[in-house]
């Protein structure tokens, strides 16, 4: 196998998108494999096939990421100003270098870290900007809930990855009663305005929920309690959160309904099968990059002249 095989039945951005309207997560089978082509085969073969495909897609993502980064660097120019040749490059939106932001949300053990490692890890660290969001610090609590998120946005030309995100402020904040209902309900509109602002600033937002089942989460938690090498991943509070499973599913569903827009849609990836999860997210990113129609920036110098100068140089 030497080429990427596309999904069957449509693009992954169409097959996995949820909303608008009411979202029923119970209707989405966490063990399903939307878009997986017949070429994947059956049984264990599918896992091997998918992993090989992720490697091939990773090489494409790396090339696209390099174009994104190169366009931004060219736009900055020697003195930081946008150069004329770079303005016409496909990697720019008007005069603004593009950025891509992958937002990953999931219940505990949903596979956010694994997705970052296997999918984002295929790209060049030079152009990656990965941020994780835990409980807010005292300083962060002194500001509005988007303050720390804005500070974590990827620079122009970078691919940013949020491991958890601003959606925690309408998920855990809602379920655990960290703020009153009026406060978390008001945040939906604020988030929509924020994400619209991002798209106007040439940020392409890809929001992914890794959807695992209650039973699969239980198995993964037990693995963390059996394998000493995984003790560090376990937190007793994980079981407290698990006890509120239904409340969290309802919170996710309303977030999708309220904040699934054309500019920043939500995608739900069935994630009980890790190999499928990685394959699906890799394709989502691939299709996102393809939609940007990126290219390498043209030279802002006389190429032939520089070649002649190089040829004329001789070591003394």
Give the chain's length: 316
Spatial separation of the C-alpha atoms in residues 129 and 127, rounded to whole Å: 7
Question: To 10 degrees, what angle do helices 181-200 and 245-259 make?
Answer: 40
Nearest to 274 by CA among 190, 216, 214: 216
248-300 pLDDT, tens digit per residue, is 999 999 999 999 999 999 999 999 999 999 999 999 999 999 999 999 999 98
The whole-angstrom separation of Cα 90 and Cα 99 is 13
Dist CA 159 CA 129 (whole Å) = 6
Determine the Cα–Cα distance for residues 135 and 126; give it in Å rounded to an integer: 28
Neighbours of 123 (CB within 10 A): 22
- What are 27-38's pLDDT values in tens digits? 999 999 999 999
Q: What is the pTM of this model?
A: 0.91
Which residues 6+ apart lie within 8 Å of 18 measured at CB? 28, 256, 260, 265, 266, 267, 268
pLDDT one-digit tens code per residue, 204-247: 999 999 999 999 999 999 999 999 999 999 999 999 999 999 99
Alpha-carbon span 109 to 121, nearest angstrom: 19
Q: SS3 of 88, please?
A: coil
């Amino acid at each position: 196998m030497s080429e990427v095989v596309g999904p069957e039945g449509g693009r992954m951005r169409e097959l996995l998108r949820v909303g608008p309207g009411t979202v029923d997560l119970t209707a989405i089978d966490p063990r399903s494999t939307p878009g997986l082509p017949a070429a994947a085969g059956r049984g264990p073969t599918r896992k091997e096939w998918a992993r090989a495909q992720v490697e091939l897609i990773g090489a494409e993502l790396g090339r696209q990421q390099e174009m994104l980064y190169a366009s931004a660097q060219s736009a900055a120019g020697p003195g930081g100003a946008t150069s004329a040749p770079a303005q016409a490059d496909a990697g720019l939106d008007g005069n603004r270098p593009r950025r891509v932001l992958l937002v990953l949300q999931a219940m505990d053990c949903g596979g956010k870290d694994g997705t970052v490692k296997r999918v984002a890890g295929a790209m060049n660290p030079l152009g990656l900007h990965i941020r994780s969001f835990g409980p807010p610090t005292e300083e962060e609590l002194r500001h509005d809930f988007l303050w720390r998120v804005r500070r974590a946005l990827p620079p122009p030309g970078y691919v940013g990855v949020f491991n958890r995100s601003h959606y925690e402020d309408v998920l855990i904040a809602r379920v655990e009663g960290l703020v009153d209902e009026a406060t978390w309900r008001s945040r939906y509109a604020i988030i929509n305005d924020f994400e619209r602002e991002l798209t106007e600033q040439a940020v392409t937002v890809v929001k992914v929920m890794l959807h695992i089942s209650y039973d699969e989460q239980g198995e993964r938690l037990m693995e963390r309690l059996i394998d000493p090498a995984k003790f560090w991943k376990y937190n007793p509070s994980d079981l407290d959160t698990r006890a509120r499973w239904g409340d969290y599913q309802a919170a996710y569903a309303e977030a999708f309904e309220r904040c699934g827009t054309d500019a920043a849609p939500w995608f739900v990836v069935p994630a009980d099968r890790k190999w499928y999860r990685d394959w699906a997210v890799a394709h989502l990113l691939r299709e996102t990059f393809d939609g940007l129609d990126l290219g390498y920036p043209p030279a802002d110098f006389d190429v032939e002249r520089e070649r002649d100068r190089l040829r004329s140089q001789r070591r003394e």
